Amino acid sequence: MNRIYLDDAGSAPVLPEVAEAVRGIPAGNPSSIHAEGRAARAALDLARDRAAEAIGATRLEVTFVSSGTEAVNLAIFGTRGRLVTWAAEHQSVIAAARRSQSGGREVVIGGVDSAAMVDAEAITPGTAVVSIGLANNEVGTIQPVAEIIARAHDLGAIVHVDACAGPRWIPLPDEADLVSISGHKLGAGRGGLLFVREGLRIDPLIHGGPQEWGRRAGFEDVAAASAVAAALAACRDQRDSRRLTAERQSHRLREVLVDLGGVLTGAGARLPNFATCTFDDRRGEDMLLALDLAGIAASSGSACASGSLDPSHVLLAMGLSMKGALGSLRLTTGYATSDAEISRAVEILRSVLSRVPVRG
């Protein structure tokens, strides 16, 4: 059976450009002075320059890390003062904010509206750091990042943009002070990156050697850095051409979800590859398992943990009922998704979801 992958927002398939970039990466330690070490250093420098060019930064502003989650944590724990974020942000942001709060830091977690859109009014005088997602990772809502940055800077605060969701489809903000990027969400398969605006000092999470400009000690993963750099370059070059296809495909998916009784989530400006909805009468877990058996990989706003189905904090923050939060479905297309696959997916969705048991 030829499976249809509709969970690009969960993890994007590795891009051909990435596979080519990591072929033949030297195994030496970039800090060593022997020939193998120098070759590894050259590959790392090339990756840093390539990543910097792709995001419009200087090489001094690029810090390679292990993942988007590490990049988020470095941005939040590496800064000080009152932190403002919002209730529908990614779990890595919320968890880091809560941990900071338990350590005595003043933290404000603002609310969101029914589309997961944030309210800039949460940023008040005395705010030191703002953490905002470029787009919501569960429903795809594109946030008013430029407005948030302008308000924060007017009040003397710095801004961290969690761009783990979004940079494949929309440009990164020009004026952010910190930007976290996840490799596997780009099609890199591994790694991450934190942009740190030149002149801004942050405290490291990992202590040891002077690697990554003193922001992250430890042996550099040259292959991961090369993968992230290649994926960023490919996304920059292909963003516009891929967007129209993604919009057309996700529109077809949203149409069938509504026909089947789903209520769309993330209304308004959303990432072009997102089709998300909730069902009051069906469980997300049941739908995912049925679709998986039928050959479709999808995801839900709910997560299975320790044998129980927990509602999405994002959907609850948006004001959905417990039933709605437990009945969510997220379909996201990718660069390799074909129109033929979407046509097959529409047929499967109509057949499978109509047979998912209705709950009381």
In angstroms, rounded to a whole number, what is the distance separating the alpha carbons of residues 311 and 308? Answer: 10
Sheet with strand 263-264: strands edge to edge: 263-264, 274-278, 328-332
Give CA–CA dist 63/194, Å, rounded. Answer: 5
Segments in the chain below pLDDT 70? 1, 301-309, 360
pLDDT of residue 116: 97
Tens digit of pLDDT for each residue in 334-358? 999 999 999 999 999 999 999 998 8
Would you call 277 a catalytic residue per the annotation?
no
Instruction: Provide the pLDDT for residue 39.
Output: 97
Question: What residues does each domain of the chain span?
Answer: 4-11+239-353, 16-235
Residues 6 or more apart in contact with residue 102 via CB below 8 angstroms: none
Query: Which residue pairs, CB below 8 angstroms and at least 24 apart, start in 143-149?
Result: 143/117, 143/118, 144/117, 144/118, 144/120, 145/173, 145/176, 146/173, 146/175, 147/120, 148/118, 148/120, 148/123, 149/173, 149/175, 149/176
Q: Which of 164, 235, 277, 304 is catalytic?
A: 304
CA atoms within 13 A on the CB side of 279: 25
Q: What's the pLDDT tens digit per position in 106-137?
A: 999 999 999 999 999 999 999 999 999 999 99
- The CATH code of domain 4-11+239-353 reads 3.90.1150.10
Give me the helix-helix angle, 339-353 and 284-293, nearest 10°.
120
0.85 exceeded by the pTM?
yes
Q: In the prediction, which pLDDT does 307 show?
A: 42
pLDDT for 312: 92
Q: Detail the DSSP E strand segments found in 40-157.
A: 62-65, 83-86, 107-110, 129-133
pLDDT at 109: 98
How confident is the model at residue 360, as a pLDDT? Answer: 63
- What count of other Cβ atoms lies within 10 Å of the Cβ of residue 323? 15
CA distance 238 to 249: 17
Give residue 309's pLDDT. Answer: 62
Alpha-carbon distance of 80 to 262, in angstroms, equals 43
- The string of DSSP letters for 139-166 reads T-BBP-HHHHHHHHHHTT-EEEEE-SSS
Architecture per CATH, 16-235: 3-Layer(aba) Sandwich (3.40)
Domains 4-11+239-353 and 16-235 alike in fold: no
